[in-house]
Amino acid sequence: MKKYGFPALLWLLFEAVAVTLWLTLGSRFYLFNFTYIGACLALGVFFYGRHVKYARRLVQFAVGLYMLLYLGVLRGENMQIEGFWYYLFSGVFEAATIHYAVAKIFGPLLFGRGWCGYACWTAMVLDLLPFRVPRGPRKKLGFVRYIVFAASLVFVGGLFLLGAAGRDKILFWSFLAGNLLYYAAGAALAFGFRDNRAFCKYLCPVTVFLKPASYFSLLRVKNDTSRCVSCGRCRKVCPMDVDMVDNSRGRKNGTECILCFQCVEECPQKALHI
């Protein structure tokens, strides 16, 4: 991974989105929003390339707390999936719909599930738990995420179909309650399965959006087979159980790579790279 080129490219990408939305929608908020997020991500990747300890964790908190506290609590924007459905059904192109379009629907075509590794406000807390490396086999519970996905759609759709009064307030309180529920469920799963990322693997409804586009992601960790000695260390340290030895797009759990680069750091032969 280039120490300077990729961070600069990442920043330019988000800056292009920021300027385009500012000029198109006439709101300086989008100029600030995407400039800030892009700068945080670019600096995080740059410092990671300079081997600064906890660089990714710092980015997680810089972006995650901004979205959770500033956008969610202070501005009242429901940045969970319920907010996406709400603004979509309202026909309003606002923060949540733009966020999902950039980060979770079209963005993964470029950076896969990198958002999960660097900017998710749920994962920023769960990654502090003691099970960074999964300590057991992966469970066959991935179907649960589709149930949660459908439930979020039914919940918001029901508010519109029933003509519920005060939908804005309901969405705000559901954002607060939903986050607390996600943290509680994520911690329970982490300790139950001894895996910090169990929530991401089995429960998170956003992955339903992320998985299809992530399959075609341009930014991927690849294996130099001329150097690889098949020691298996990359598989052991991967929090998402991705088979990094396999370069094919159909590799095991390939759409779930969060670009944490634990595998790159662990590889004794320096065979893994972006």
CB 76 within 8 A of CB 67: no
Q: What local confidence, expressed as pLDDT, does residue 190 receive? A: 97
Distance CA 239, CA 226 (A): 25
The DSSP output letter for 2 is -
The DSSP output letter for 223 is E
Kindly state whether residue 87 falls inside one of the protein's structural domains.
yes
Kindly state whether residue 226 falls inside one of the protein's structural domains.
no
Kindly state whether residue 168 falls inside one of the protein's structural domains.
yes
Kindly state whether residue 68 falls inside one of the protein's structural domains.
yes
Kindly state whether residue 81 falls inside one of the protein's structural domains.
yes
Q: What local confidence, expressed as pLDDT, does residue 206 receive? A: 93
Which domain range does residue 171 map to? 54-95+137-206
Domain count, the chain: 1
CB 123 within 8 A of CB 195: no
Q: What local confidence, expressed as pLDDT, does residue 208 receive? A: 94
Closest CA to 86 of 29, 5, 168: 168
Kindly state whether residue 188 falls inside one of the protein's structural domains.
yes
Q: What local confidence, expressed as pLDDT, does residue 101 receive? A: 87
Q: What local confidence, expressed as pLDDT, does residue 52 receive? A: 86
CB 107 within 8 A of CB 41: no
Cα angle value 56/61/65 (rounded, 5°): 155
Kindly state whether residue 84 falls inside one of the protein's structural domains.
yes
Q: For residue 73, what are the contacts with CB-CB under 8 A and spacing of at least 6?
A: 176
Q: What local confidence, expressed as pLDDT, does residue 1 receive? A: 46
Task: Give average pLDDT by consecutive 10-residue segment, the chain, 274 residues.
Answer: 70 91 89 93 85 89 94 88 90 79 88 90 95 90 96 95 91 93 96 96 94 91 93 92 93 92 91 89
Alpha carbon 26 to its chain centroid, in Å, reads: 28
Kindly state whether residue 18 falls inside one of the protein's structural domains.
no
Cα angle value 97/256/220 (rounded, 5°): 95
